[in-house]
Chain A
Amino acid sequence: MERLPRWADVALVPLISLLLAAIIAALVILAIGQDPWEAITVMVQGSVMNAYGWGYTLYYATSFMFTGLAVTVAFHAGLFNIGGEGQAQLGGLGVALCCLFLPWPHWSLALIGATFAGAAFGAAWAAVPAYLQAKRGSHIVITTIMFNYIASAFLIFMLVDVLRPDGQMDPATANFPEATHLPTLNEIPGLNLIFTSGVPANVTLFIALAMAVVVWALLWRTRLGYAIRAYGKSEPAARYAGISPFGIIMVAMMISGGLAGMMAINNVMGEAERLLGNSASGAGFIGIAVALMGRNHPVGVVLAALLFGFLFQGGAELGLWTKIPIEMRTVVQGLVILFTGALDMMVRMLLTWIFNLFRAGRMAKGAA
C-alpha cells in the first residue's frame, strides 16, 4: 500500500474529518427534529455574510487563536494541556488587577501591561501542574483538569468576596477605567469603513496574529523550540542529547499557560471591560479542537480558529433564531476533536484506499 501524497495529508485529511463531523452534526440536528439546511443557513447568515457578523466571528477567533496556540506548544512537547480554560480564567484575573489598580495614561501602554499580566497569571497557573508532572510524575492531563475546577472556584471567591464593589449584586469587578478601553475594529481608521456598527473584535486580533508568528519562530527557528520538539518526539533521545526534561516540561507548559492567559486581553479587557464569572466561557477547551484541526501548526491554528469563530458565532445565532439549543456548539466541537484527533487514522486509511483505487485504475489503463 502506498502512502498518501503530502498535500493530501496536510489539507485533505482535516477537510474530510471536518466533513464527517459536519455530517454527524447534521444527523444530530435531524434527530432532534430540526432542519440542518436551515441551521447552516442561519449560521452562515449570522456570522460571515455581513461586517457585523464578521465582527463577532473575528472576536471569537481571536480568543481561539490564543488558546489553540497554547495547546499547540504543549503538544509539541508531548504534553496534553487540558487546563487552558483555567489558565485563561486566571489570565483574566491578572488583566483585571492590572487594569483596575494601575493608573494607565493610554490604552496602548495598558494593553502591553495587561498582556504581560495575563500571560504571567496564566503561566503561573500552568506552572504548578507542570512542576507536579516533572518532579512527582502526577499525570498532567488529570492535574490540569483539576486545576480548571480549582480556578473556577477561586475566581468565584475573588469576584464574590474580594473584588466586587460595595452595593453591587452580580459577582463581577468594577468597570475598568476609560483609559484602558481598547479600540474595536469599528474605531480604527480605515477599518471603520468596513465595520460601521459597534463590534466586539478589537486590536487584540493583531496581537493574536503576531503571537502565531512568534510561536512559529519559537518552535521552528530557535534552539528552545528544537529542544521542545525533540523532547516531544522522544524523551530518551532528548535526554541523551543533554536536554533537561524538567526544564522542557516547565518552559513548554508556562509558554502554553501564558498564551492561554493572554486570551484575557481579548474577552476581559477588549470586550467586557470588567471581569465576570466564567469569563473564558469554554474557549480554553475549544483550543484543543483548534490545535488538532490546525495540525499543530500556527498557520493551521489561525485557520481553524476562524472556523471555530464561525461555529461559535453561528451557534449563538442558532440559539437565538431556531429551536436548536446553543449546546449544539459543544457537540460539533466534540465531533471535530473526535474525527481530527482520534479517528484521523480512519480518515487516512479511507483516503489511502481511494488513492490506491485511482492508481490501480491508471495502471490498468496503462497496461491495456
Chain B
Amino acid sequence: MDYATLLQILDSTIRLATPLLFACLAGLYSERAGIFDIGLEGKMLMAAMSSASVAFLTGSVWAGLMAGILASMLMAGIHGVASITFRGNQLISGVALNFVASGITVLVAQRLFGQGGRTPPLEGEARFNPITLPFAEELQGVPILGPLYYEVISGHSLLVYIAVLTVPLTWWILFRTRFGLRLRAVGENPAAVDTAGISVVGLRFAAVAITGILCGLAGAYMATALQAGFGREMTAGRGYIALAALIFAKWRPVAALWACLLFGFFQALALRPDVVQAVVQVKIPVPFLDALPYVLTVLVLAGFVGKAIPPRAGGEPYVKER
C-alpha cells in the first residue's frame, strides 16, 4: 500500500467517523445524566430525512440543518417523556423510536417526493460543500506533511470541523462547568442532586435535549455532506456503533474521539476490499468486510475495553421520595 492510498483511507476515515462522533457525544450527554439511549439511530435517521427534504425544498442547507436538529429533538423529547416523566423502560423506548423513525422517514419522503422513499439528489447550496483550509494548496509541496494536510485534514465540510471542536467543548462543559458537574452527578446519584435542591427532571431533560441536537447534526451530516440526499435506512446501524464507541471510550469525550476514529477506520477499510486484499494477501469476500465494523465492535465490547463502568444510575428512573 502506497502513501497516496493510505491518505485516501485516512481521508474517508475522517468523513465516516464524523457522524459516529456526533452520535457518540450525543449518547455521552444522555448516559452521563443516567438516561440510556439506544435510539440514537432513529434520531439520526429522522434528522437525515428532515434535513435532506428541507434542504431540497428551500435550496438552503442551513434551513435543512435546522429542520434536522428540530426533528431529532422532537424524537429526543418523546424519549424524555417516556423515560423521565413516565419512568418507562429506556431500552424499550429507544427500540420503539428506532422503528417509528425507520418507517416514518420513508412515509414522509415518499409523500413529499414520490421517489420510493428517497429524496432527490441535493446539489450546490443545498449541501455542505468541502472547504479548503488556509495554505492547504501552498503547502502541498512539502514532503509527507503537505499531502497529509491537503488530503486528510483539509477539504472536509464545515460539520466535520464542528464535530472535532465539539470534543473539547464537551470536555469543558462536563468537567469545568457547574452544569457539567450536576449532569454527571445526576447520572451517578440523583438522590444527592435532589437533596441539594436541584431538579433531577430538569437536568435530565436538558441532557436529552443536547442529545437531540447532536444527533440532529449527525443525521444532517449524513444526508447533506457525506451523501447528497436521504435514502431509506441510510444510517445502517451507525447509532449502535456509536454506542459501542461510547462504551469503548468509557463515557469520556476525548477517548470518544479516538474510538470513533477507530470505528471510522474500520468502515473505511470495508469500502476498499482491494486494499485489504493487497495487505493481507488473501481474497476476502465482500460480506466479511461489510461485517467487519460489527465484528470488531463485538470484539471491543468483549475484551479490550477493560473494565467499562457505566454511570451508576444509568437506566434507572428516578423516583422522588414522598
Contact = CB atoms under 8 A, between A and B. Distances in A.
A12 to B, nearest CB: 17
A150 B247 contact: no
Contacts of A345: 86-88
Interface string B52-65: 00000000000000
A146 B297 contact: yes
B91 A141 contact: yes
Contact of A136 (B110, B111, B117, B302): B302
Nearest to A292: B92
A82 interface: yes
Contacts of B254: none
A331 interface: yes
Main secondary structure of the interface of B (DSSP, over half): helix
Nearest to A346: B86
30 contacts: A28-B107, A32-B107, A32-B108, A32-B110, A136-B301, A138-B302, A142-B243, A142-B301, A145-B38, A145-B240, A146-B301, A147-B298, A150-B298, A153-B291, A154-B291, A156-B290, A157-B287, A160-B285, A288-B95, A324-B107, A330-B100, A330-B102, A331-B104, A332-B103, A334-B99, A338-B97, A338-B100, A342-B90, A342-B92, A343-B82
A33 interface: yes
Given A292-B92, A334-B103, 9 more contacts: A149-B291, A150-B295, A156-B287, A157-B288, A325-B110, A331-B103, A334-B97, A334-B99, A337-B95
Contacts of A82: 95
A100 interface: no
Interface string B301-319: 1110000100000000000
Contacts of A138: 298, 301-302
A139 interface: yes
Contact of A342 (B89, B106, B297): B89
A153 B99 contact: no
Nearest to B92: A341
Given A146-B240, A346-B86, A80 B91 contact: yes
Interface string A336-352: 01100111111001000
Contact of B98 (A32, A80, A150, A334): A334
Interface in A140-176: 141-143, 145-147, 149-150, 153-154, 156-157, 160-161
Given A150-B295, A327-B106, A343 B86 contact: yes
B107 to A, nearest CB: 6
Interface string A246-263: 000000000000000000
A351 to B, nearest CB: 13
Interface in A209-247: none
Interface of A: 28, 32-33, 80, 82, 132, 136-139, 141-143, 145-147, 149-150, 153-154, 156-157, 160-161, 285, 288, 292, 324-325, 327-335, 337-338, 341-346, 349
B99 A342 contact: no
A342 B247 contact: no
A325 to B, nearest CB: 5
Contacts of B141: none
Contact of B82 (A132, A327, A342): A342
B244 A334 contact: no
B169 to A, nearest CB: 26
Main secondary structure of the interface of A (DSSP, over half): helix
B168 interface: no
A365 B237 CA distance: 58
Contact of B103 (A150, A288, A328, A338): A328
Contacts of B298: 132, 138, 143, 146-147, 150
A337 B110 CA distance: 24
A33 B247 contact: no
A127 B100 CA distance: 29
A132 B95 contact: no
B206 interface: no
B51 interface: no
B302 A132 contact: yes
B251 to A, nearest CB: 13
B74 interface: no
Given A333-B99, A337-B92, A327 B107 contact: yes
A139 B301 contact: yes
A48 B159 CA distance: 51
Contact of A325 (B83, B106, B287): B106
Contacts of A157: 285, 287-288
Nearest to A338: B96
B103 A33 contact: no
A150 to B, nearest CB: 5
B194 to A, nearest CB: 20
A132 B301 CA distance: 9
Contacts of A142: 38, 240, 243-244, 247, 297, 301
A344 B96 CA distance: 13
A150 B294 contact: yes
Contacts of A325: 106-107, 110, 117
B93 interface: yes
A328 B95 contact: no
Given A32-B107, A141-B91, A150 B102 contact: no
